[in-house]
Amino acid sequence: VARPKSDSKDLFIAATSTLLRRKGYHGTSLKDIATEAGAPIGSLYFLFPAGKDQLVLAALHASGHGVEQVLDSVLAGEGTAEAVVRRYLSLIEAVLVGSGYIDGCPIATVALEVAPLHAELSAAIAAIFESWLAVLERHLRRVGLTKSKARNLATLSLTAVEGALVVTRAQQRPDTFAVVIKAMTEFARSLSE
């Protein structure tokens, strides 16, 4: 019987990811995290001796890897570049709208708050974005795009999504995301011809 050893650690990380998505780095206190995780704050110092930054770093990695996995499975399957892009954008839109425009991208918020002043976090964030770009690019190549076109489309898709998250959170309406999806699929189709 495998004991899950310390699920507290994962609880803390999950709670941190959630709160980072909603209120960002400076807006998330360790007390909030402990409350959200349902664990005492004292344990936190033992599990993450380097403090808040270590915890945030772990949460960013976990979120980044989680999204990467989901993307990889959602983007798989038959289809054109247009379909790949549409599945990507729709996935992110669904998460945002489904949470009442509360749950955005934890990576983006932290990026705007601390990068590039905080070197370690910046590097981690950049690596996560790269990993997402790599997944997108791989799937776009799989459905027939050239390396150059795949890279460009992946990059624009990522930035458009991140930007749409910013704008849509403030608007609290799905309009902008819908327009972005429409425009991006159109662009993807034009690249496939």
Partner DNA sequence: ACGCTCGGGACCCCCCGTTCGT
Partner DNA sequence: ACGAACGGGGGGTCCCGAGCGT
Decide: is 13 part of the binding site for DNA (CB under 7 A): no
* Selection from 155, 149, 142, 161 nearest residue 79 by Cα: 142
Element spanning 188, H or E: helix 175-192
Q: How far is the CB of 119 from DNA (least distance, A)?
A: 16
Binding segment (CB under 7 A) for DNA, from list 2-10, 68-76, 121-129, 141-149: 2-10
Structure tokens at 137: 């690019």
Decide: is 43 part of the binding site for DNA (CB under 7 A): yes
Report whether 12 contacts 47 (CB < 8 A).
Answer: yes
Q: Which residues bind a second copy (CB under 8 A)?
A: 22-27, 100-102, 104-105, 108-109, 111-117, 122, 125-126, 129, 151-153, 155-156, 158-167, 169-172, 176, 179-180, 182-184, 186-187, 190
Looking at this protein, which amino acid is placed at residue 114?
Answer: V
Structure tokens at 83: 């379909």
Interface residues with DNA (CB under 7 A)? 3, 5-6, 8-9, 28-32, 39-47, 49, 51-53
